[in-house]
Amino acid sequence: MILRDSLASSGQGRVVALGVAAALAVLACGDGGPASPTRLDVSPSVGLLTSVGTMQKFTAQVVDERGASMAGVSVAWSSSNPSVAAIDASTGVATAQQTGVTTITAAVGTVSGEALLEVYLPLEPSYIPGQAYFGRRQYIEYVAGDLPIIVSAPHGGYEEPLEIPDRTWGTTSRDRQTQELIRVIGAAIHDRTGRHPHLVVSRLHRSKLDPNRDIDEAAQGNPFAEWAWNEFHGFIEAAEQAVEEEYGKGFYIDLHGHGHDIQRLELGYLLSATDLARSDAELAQPEYVDRSSIHTLAGEAASGFVALLRGPTSLGGLLAERGFPSVPSPAQPDPGWQPYFSGGYNTRRHGSRDGGAVSGVQLEANWQGVRDSAGSRDTFAAALAEVLAIFFSAHIGVELTYAAPMATHSEWGRFHGTESALHIGR
Ligand SMILES: [Zn+2]
């Protein structure tokens, strides 16, 4: 189980009580005197359990006045709020009972150490299209949809909670205005169709969580960041399930903003600049189709892989036609030697490279004319809504014409937080 394994490595507890007697013992201690417990370090220092009955094992390291670890000292465990999580006094195994926070204490005589344990039991909502749902502490937001379109924004968040330490490696800069842009895209698609795309937003700053990475780089061992990462991908998978049940197939866009000099949209299908520099005939070979994020769609669409990728009715072709230069597209079939993002973790996981009915793309928006003002964002979002309608009609066989909102689907892609921790693989 991912969550609990990772908890075990999330660091040492802090010392909270150094008894007066223990302090005096340090002062009085001469060389060769008997060792006595002076400090207790509890691991992990913070824990998070997300379903009733799940367990977290705490361990304590007893340290003597010379800083040496003492073996074989038995420790007494207690929980400040046993109704949230009870703990076995001798083994240090805590069991989740109900939502809340409890302080776990390990003690030997007057020396003790503490850790914090939170129990968070997510709700199991029936999703209503157009309505926003939030994960723990509103770090992750899901706007439920009733269209076969899923859009995520992993890098547009602002929240910097103290409970999650700053990430110490990997990229930490925010994709400016992408959270604003995804909301306007949702509104433009709704204006056009009367229905809602599924939107998944990380409201955490990228210095706290990078959902477009594997969990190790994304959350760097913090249990709250790991849980938010699980929610982000769990919501996308709930959306994919809803799309598959209702439409049989759909399309996913992972929305980003790039800082490259050339002002053009970069569409990443998991093909490198070198791949894209190949001729149409070469690119049509299974080798390239199979490792693209539109693998499934390419096998179904009569238009063929290269037309989907950079033909006149590809996303790039249609966007370029509306004044948004794009690569790949008929005019710019490959990025040349310029910097280019070909797609990341989300595109690999939630597109159709490895199968599945939802194909996808990483859309890296340039700044000028796309993200730089409310007017730009509105214009781009309206163009994207129109482009998606044409693309769906031409290649996916779904008409995104105006329709009355669909009935609520209580069974749609319900995201059970407790299950996600168990079932969301990597
Ligand atoms: Zn990004």
Q: How far is the CA of 173 from the centre of ligand 1 (A)?
A: 8
Q: What is the end-to-end Cα distance of the chain in Å, rounded? A: 11
| Contact criterion met (CB below 8 Å) for 42 and 60 | yes
pLDDT band of 420, cuts 50, 70, 90: very low
Residue 155 Cα to ligand 1 midpoint, Å, equals: 5
**Ligand 1 centre from 344 Cα, in Å?**
9
Ligand 1 center–CA 367 separation, angstroms:
13
**Per-residue model confidence (pLDDT) at position 32:** 58
pLDDT band at 43; cut points 50, 70, 90: very high
**In the chain, domain spans:** 2-119, 132-405
CATH code reported for the domain at 132-405: 3.40.630.40
Ligand 1 centroid to Cα of residue 186, in Å, is 19
C-alpha 364 to ligand 1 mean position (Å):
7
Cα(257) to ligand 1 centroid in Å equals 6
Tokens of 168: 């110490």
Q: How far apart are the CA of 189 and the centre of ligand 1, in A?
A: 22
Ligand 1 centroid to residue 116 C-alpha, Å? 33
| Prediction pTM value | 0.82
What percentage of the chain carries pLDDT values higher than 70?
87
Q: For residue 154, how far is its CA from the centre of ligand 1 (angstroms)?
A: 7
State pLDDT tens for residues 141-155: 999 999 999 999 999
How far apart, in whole angstroms, are the C-alpha atoms of residue 258 and residue 174?
10
Q: Determine the distance separating the centroid of ligand 1 and the alpha carbon of 29, expressed in angstroms.
A: 57
Average pLDDT taken over every residue of the chain: 89
When pLDDT is cut at 50, 70 and 90, the band that residue 401 belongs to is: confident
Q: Does domain 2-119 have CATH number 2.60.40.420?
A: no
Q: pLDDT digit string (tens) for 271-312?
A: 999 999 999 999 999 999 999 999 999 999 889 999 999 999
Q: How far is the CA of 236 from the centre of ligand 1 (A)?
A: 17
Instruction: For 33-68, give the DSSP string.
Output: PPP-EEEEEEESSEEEE-STT-EEE-EEEEEETTS-
